[in-house]
C-alpha cells in the first residue's frame, strides 16, 4: 500500500502523550537484547507451561482415584508431555501460512522452517472469517506435503498438532509465572546432577536455558517419605538452593511479571492500570525478569522454584492470593510426578524418525528398583498396592506426536497479521488453559475405560509400534459450566485462574464474546509487530490499527484426532529472531522538513535536541533515527535524482540539507581545530 497522505507530524501541534525517554531508550538499546539473547521464551514454551500445568492438574486430581494401569499410563504420559513441552528449545512462533489452497492455515512452527517452506506471514492471510488453524511443529515436518496432511481434513476438521514428544526426562520442579495478571504454574525440569549452584542458581539468565540438559539423569529412588513433603523432596531432588541468587527466596515460587513494552502505552498511557494486577515490583531481579519477558521472546520459565521475585503477599488482590494458594496446594501434590519421570528417562532419547504413533519397548529388565519405587509411589497414592509387582512387565512408550484440539478463530479481515498472530496465540493459550486431558487411542479407537489395565486393553509390549496413540482433548470437567453447553465447544474465558487473554490496544472496543477485559492496553502475550503504535495519526496508521477489531475467540474441540508424524526438534535450535525489528516508517516530507529546519538551527551532533525540538511528539522517532535520517538525506542530496527512491524529497529541502551539512561540518571542524590549538598550547 502506498502512503497517500503525509504524516501529520507532531510539531505541527499534534498532541501525543510523550513517551518516557528512558523506556524508549531502554527498549532501543541493543545491549539489552544482546545481553539476553539466550533468554528467550518462545510461544511454544508458553504452551508447554500451560499444558504442563493442566496435565499436572489432571494428574494429581484426586477425583481420578482409581489406579488402574491406564491411569498410571496416563500419568506417565502426562509427565512426559509436560516435560517435553518445556524441554525443547523450539523457537516457535505463531505463523500464518498460506499453502496456496483455499484453506488458510496458521501454524505454530519453527521460524526457520516456516519461511523455508515457502510460508510467509506476508502472504495474504485473513480473507475469511473462519480460519482453519493448525498448530504444527513445522520443524518436525520434512516438507509442506506432510503438513498438508493436516490440511486435507478441511476447514472444519483439520487437526491441530502440537509438538513432538520424546521421552527424555529429568527431574523437575514447578514454578509460577505471571503473564500479566495471569498466573501459570509451570513444571520445569531440573538438572539433578548439576551442582547446586548450577542447577538452582538464578543467573542473569533466569529465564534462560533451563533445557540444556543433555544427559538424562537418573535419580536414585527416594524413600516415600521424601516424596511426601514438598520441601523435603525438593532439596535432594533438585539441589536448588541459590547461593548467590539475586532473588529473594522467602517464598515458594517464582513470580515473574510480564509487562508490556513501553510502546503499548502509546496512544493512551495507562501507567497505573497496567500495574494494577501486578505485585509491587520489588527487588533486584525483578527488573531483569521483567525486561526479559517484556522482550517479546520468551524462552522458558525460570527454573528456580524457591525464589520469588516479589515478597509481599499482602498487596495482592484477594482473588490473586486465592489463586496462589490454590497453586501452592497443587504443588504439594505434585512431587511424585517428578520421580515418575525417572521411569521415562530410560527410554531412548534419540528418536528422529518421523514415525507416527508411539513405540513399544520392553522395559521389564531395566533399573527395576528405581522405577519401581516411583511407580509404586503413584500407586500407593491411589490406595492400591495390589497391582504392583516389582517385576511387572513395563510398556515403554515413545510418543512422537500428540494432537491437540482444533481451534477456530474468528477475526475481522481488517485485522493485521500481527493481531492474528496474537489472537492465535491467545486462542492456543486459552485452549490449553481451558483444560486438557490425554486421550488414548488404540488402533485408532479411543480407549475410554480408564480402569482397564494396559494388558487388558491390549497395550502390551508386543503391540505394534503405531497401534497406540495419544491426543489432547478438551476436558469438560475443567470448563466453566456456564460456558460449556453440553460437550460443545469451549470458549475463551478471561476470568478463570487460567491464562487470561487480553486484547491489546483495544481502545474501548467491546470484545464480542466472553472476554471482558479490564485493561485493554496490556498485552502480555503477543506484542509482536505492531505494538509500535504510531501516535502520529496518519491514515496508514489508523487503518493499521487492527487490534481494535479483535473479537472473541471460540475454540471448538476436535472430533478428529490422529497423530501426525513429527521429528523432534534439535535442542539447540537457532535463536529465533530477536527483538522484533521495528516497522519501517519512511519519513514524510513534512518530517524531513522539520528535521532540516531543526538541524539548520541546532546543527549536527545534537540529535537529542533535534528530537526534542522537532520530534518530541513523535515517539517512534528516536534521536538515532533522526541522525540516521539526516545521514541518508545527505546521501540522497548528493546522488542524482534518478537514483533516489521512495517518496521524493523536494530539491529545495535537499539543497538545504547540503547547505546545513556543509555549514555544520565546517563548524565542527573549527571546533576541533580550536580544541587542538588549546591542547597544543597547554603542552607547550
Catalog residues that contact DNA under the rule CB under 7 A.
21-23, 25-26, 28-31, 33-34, 578-579, 581-585, 604-609, 620, 623-625, 627-628, 631-632
**Shortest reach from residue 296's CB to DNA, in Å:** 12
- The secondary structure of the chain in percent helix, strand, coil, rounded to multiples of 5, reads 40, 10, 50
CA 569-575-581 angle, to 5 degrees, is: 135
Q: Which is nearer to DNA, 583 or 639 (CB)?
A: 583
Closest by CA to 397, choosing from 103, 650, 115, 169, is: 169
**Shortest reach from residue 606's CB to DNA, in Å:** 5
Residue 531, exposed/middle/buried by CB under 10 A (0-12, 13-18, 19+)?
A: buried
**Shortest reach from residue 580's CB to DNA, in Å:** 7
Q: Which is nearer to DNA, 75 or 610 (CB)?
A: 610
For 271-283, b/e burial (b = at least 16 CB within 10 A) is eeebeebbbeebe
Name the pairing type of β-strands 160-161 and 436-442.
unpaired
Q: Which is nearer to DNA, 35 or 367 (CB)?
A: 35
CA gap 402, 390 in Å, rounded: 30
Q: Which residues contact 629 (CB under 8 A, 6 or more apart)?
A: 587, 591, 592, 595
**Shortest reach from residue 300's CB to DNA, in Å:** 21
Cell numbers that stand for 562 in this block? 490422529
Return the beta strands (E) in 284-385 as ranges.
358-362
Q: Which is nearer to DNA, 13 or 30 (CB)?
A: 30
- DSSP at 107: E
CA gap 129, 126 in Å, rounded: 7
Q: Which is nearer to DNA, 33 or 270 (CB)?
A: 33
Q: Which is nearer to DNA, 383 or 648 (CB)?
A: 648
Residue 307, exposed/middle/buried by CB under 10 A (0-12, 13-18, 19+)?
A: buried
Q: Which is nearer to DNA, 116 or 632 (CB)?
A: 632
Alpha carbons within 13 angstroms on the beta-carbon side of residue 255 total 30
**Shortest reach from residue 263's CB to DNA, in Å:** 11
**Shortest reach from residue 422's CB to DNA, in Å:** 19
**Shortest reach from residue 610's CB to DNA, in Å:** 8
Answer left, alpha or beta for residue 154, where phi above 0 means left and psi between -120 and 50 means alpha. left
**Shortest reach from residue 665's CB to DNA, in Å:** 9
**Shortest reach from residue 419's CB to DNA, in Å:** 19
Helix (H, G, I), strand (E, B) or coil at 683: helix
Closest by CA to 300, choosing from 254, 337, 249, is: 254
Closest by CA to 161, choosing from 501, 558, 482, 641, is: 558
**Shortest reach from residue 528's CB to DNA, in Å:** 13
Q: Which is nearer to DNA, 297 or 327 (CB)?
A: 297
Largest CA distance in the chain: 100
**Which residues on adjacent β-strands are paired with residue 203?**
none
CA gap 110, 119 in Å, rounded: 11
Residue with cell 488482590: 317
Q: Which is nearer to DNA, 27 or 511 (CB)?
A: 27
In this structure, how many other beta carbons lie within 10 angstroms of the beta carbon of residue 314?
Answer: 7
Under 8 Å between Cβ of 452 and 460: no
Q: Which is nearer to DNA, 205 or 393 (CB)?
A: 205
**Shortest reach from residue 668's CB to DNA, in Å:** 7
Cell numbers that stand for 543 in this block? 487503518
CA 267 → CA 14, 275, 506, distances in Å? 12, 17, 11
Closest by CA to 409, choosing from 295, 307, 550, is: 550
In this structure, how many other beta carbons lie within 10 angstroms of the beta carbon of residue 682?
Answer: 7
Q: Which is nearer to DNA, 529 or 561 (CB)?
A: 529
Helix (H, G, I), strand (E, B) or coil at 203: coil
Cell numbers that stand for 60 in this block? 494429581
CA gap 595, 613 in Å, rounded: 9
Q: Which is nearer to DNA, 268 or 578 (CB)?
A: 578
**Shortest reach from residue 382's CB to DNA, in Å:** 52
Under 8 Å between Cβ of 164 and 140: yes
**Shortest reach from residue 524's CB to DNA, in Å:** 21
**Shortest reach from residue 293's CB to DNA, in Å:** 18
Q: Which is nearer to DNA, 22 or 272 (CB)?
A: 22
Q: Which is nearer to DNA, 192 or 602 (CB)?
A: 602
Q: Which is nearer to DNA, 30 or 485 (CB)?
A: 30
**Shortest reach from residue 637's CB to DNA, in Å:** 16
Closest by CA to 299, choosing from 27, 92, 525, 50, is: 92
CA gap 680, 74 in Å, rounded: 82
Q: Which is nearer to DNA, 427 or 657 (CB)?
A: 657
**Shortest reach from residue 153's CB to DNA, in Å:** 39
Alpha carbons within 13 angstroms on the beta-carbon side of residue 42 total 28
CA 243 → CA 305, 307, 514, 604, distances in Å? 14, 11, 46, 50
Cell numbers that stand for 454 in this block? 494396559
**Shortest reach from residue 299's CB to DNA, in Å:** 17
Q: Which is nearer to DNA, 1 or 389 (CB)?
A: 1
Amino acid at each position: 500500500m502506498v502512503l497517500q497522505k503525509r504524516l501529520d507530524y507532531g510539531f505541527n501541534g499534534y498532541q501525543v502523550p510523550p513517551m518516557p525517554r528512558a523506556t524508549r531508550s531502554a527498549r532501543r538499546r541493543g545491549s539489552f537484547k544482546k545481553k539476553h539473547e539466550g533468554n528467550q521464551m518462545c510461544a511454544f514454551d508458553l504452551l508447554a507451561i500451560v499444558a504442563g500445568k493442566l496435565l499436572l492438574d489432571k494428574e494429581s486430581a484426586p477425583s481420578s482415584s482409581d489406579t488402574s494401569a491406564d491411569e498410571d499410563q496416563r500419568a506417565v504420559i502426562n509427565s512426559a508431555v509436560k516435560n517435553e513441552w518445556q524441554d525443547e528449545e523450539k523457537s516457535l512462533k505463531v505463523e500464518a501460512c498460506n499453502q496456496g489452497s483455499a484453506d488458510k492455515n496458521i501454524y505454530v512452527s519453527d521460524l526457520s522452517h516456516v519461511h523455508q517452506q515457502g510460508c510467509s506471514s506476508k502472504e495474504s492471510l485473513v480473507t475469511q472469517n473462519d480460519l482453519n488453524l493448525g498448530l504444527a511443529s513445522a520443524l518436525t515436518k520434512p516438507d509442506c506435503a506432510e503438513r498438508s496432511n493436516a490440511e486435507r481434513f478441511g476447514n472444519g476438521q483439520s487437526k491441530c498438532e502440537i509438538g513432538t514428544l520424546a521421552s527424555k526426562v529429568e527431574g523437575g520442579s514447578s514454578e509460577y509465572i505471571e503473564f500479566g495478571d495471569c498466573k501459570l504454574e509451570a513444571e520445569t525440569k531440573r538438572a539433578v546432577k548439576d551442582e547446586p549452584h548450577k542447577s538452582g542458581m538464578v543467573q542473569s539468565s533466569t529465564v534462560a536455558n533451563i533445557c540444556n540438559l543433555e544427559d538424562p539423569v537418573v535419580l536414585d529412588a527416594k524413600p516415600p517419605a521424601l516424596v511426601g513433603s514438598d520441601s523435603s523432596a525438593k532439596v535432594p531432588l533438585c539441589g536448588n538452593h541459590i547461593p548467590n541468587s539475586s532473588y529473594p527466596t522467602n517464598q515458594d515460587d517464582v513470580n515473574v511479571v510480564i509487562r508490556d513494552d513501553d510502546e503499548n502505552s502509546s496512544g493512551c498511557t495507562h501507567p497505573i492500570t497496567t500495574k494494577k494486577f501486578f505485585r509491587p515490583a520489588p527487588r533486584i531481579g525483578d527488573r531483569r525478569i521483567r525486561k526479559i519477558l517484556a522482550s517479546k521472546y520468551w524462552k522458558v520459565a525460570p527454573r528456580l522454584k524457591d525464589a520469588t521475585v516479589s515478597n509481599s503477599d499482602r498487596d495482592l488482590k484477594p482473588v490473586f492470593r486465592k489463586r496462589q494458594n490454590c497453586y501452592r496446594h497443587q504443588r504439594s501434590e505434585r512431587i511424585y510426578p517428578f520421580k515418575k519421570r525417572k521411569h521415562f528417562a530410560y527410554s531412548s532419547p534419540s528418536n528422529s524418525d518421523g514415525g507416527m504413533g508411539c513405540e513399544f519397548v520392553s522395559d521389564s529388565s531395566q533399573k527395576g528398583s528405581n522405577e519401581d519405587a516411583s511407580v509404586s509411589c503413584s500407586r500407593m497414592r491411589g490406595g492400591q498396592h495390589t497391582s504392583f509387582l516389582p517385576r511387572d512387565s513395563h510398556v515403554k512408550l515413545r510418543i512422537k506426536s500428540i494432537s491437540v484440539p482444533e481451534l477456530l478463530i474468528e477475526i475481522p479481515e481488517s485485522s493485521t497479521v500481527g493481531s492474528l498472530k496474537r489472537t492465535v496465540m491467545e486462542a492456543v493459550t486459552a485452549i490449553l488453559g481451558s483444560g486438557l486431558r490425554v486421550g488414548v487411542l488404540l488402533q485408532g479407537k479411543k480407549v475410554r475405560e480408564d480402569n482397564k489395565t494396559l494388558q487388558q486393553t491390549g497395550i502390551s509390549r508386543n503391540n505394534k509400534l503405531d497401534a497406540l496413540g495419544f491426543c489432547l482433548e478438551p476436558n469438560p470437567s475443567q470448563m466453566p459450566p456456564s460456558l460449556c453447553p453440553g460437550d460443545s465447544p469451549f470458549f475463551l474465558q478471561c476470568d478463570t485462574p487460567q491464562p487470561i487473554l487480553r486484547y491489546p490496544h483495544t481502545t474501548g472496543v467491546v470484545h464480542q464474546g466472553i472476554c471482558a477485559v479490564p485493561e485493554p492496553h496490556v498485552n502480555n502475550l503477543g506484542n509482536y509487530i505492531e505494538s509500535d503504535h504510531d501516535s502520529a495519526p496518519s491514515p496508514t496508521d489508523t487503518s493499521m490499527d487492527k487490534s481494535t477489531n479483535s473479537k472473541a475467540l471460540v475454540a471448538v474441540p476436535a472430533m478428529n484426532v490422529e497423530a501426525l508424524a513429527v521429528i523432534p526438534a534439535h535442542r539447540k535450535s537457532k535463536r529465533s529472531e530477536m527483538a522484533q525489528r521495528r516497522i519501517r516508517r519512511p519519513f514524510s516530507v513534512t518530517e524531513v522538513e522539520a528535521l532540516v529546519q531543526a538541524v539548520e538551527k541546532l546543527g549536527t551532533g545534537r540529535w537529542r535536541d533535534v528530537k526534542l525540538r522537532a520530534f518530541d511528539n513523535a515517539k517512534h522517532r528516536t534521536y538515532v533515527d533522526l541522525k540516521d535520517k539526516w545521514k541518508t538525506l545527505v546521501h540522497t542530496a548528493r546522488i542524482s535524482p534518478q537514483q533516489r527512491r521512495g517518496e521524493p524529497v523536494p530539491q529545495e529541502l535537499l539543497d538545504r540539507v547540503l547547505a546545513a551539512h556543509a555549514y555544520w561540518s565546517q563548524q565542527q571542524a573549527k571546533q576541533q581545530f580550536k580544541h587542538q590549538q588549546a591542547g597544543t598550547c597547554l603542552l607547550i
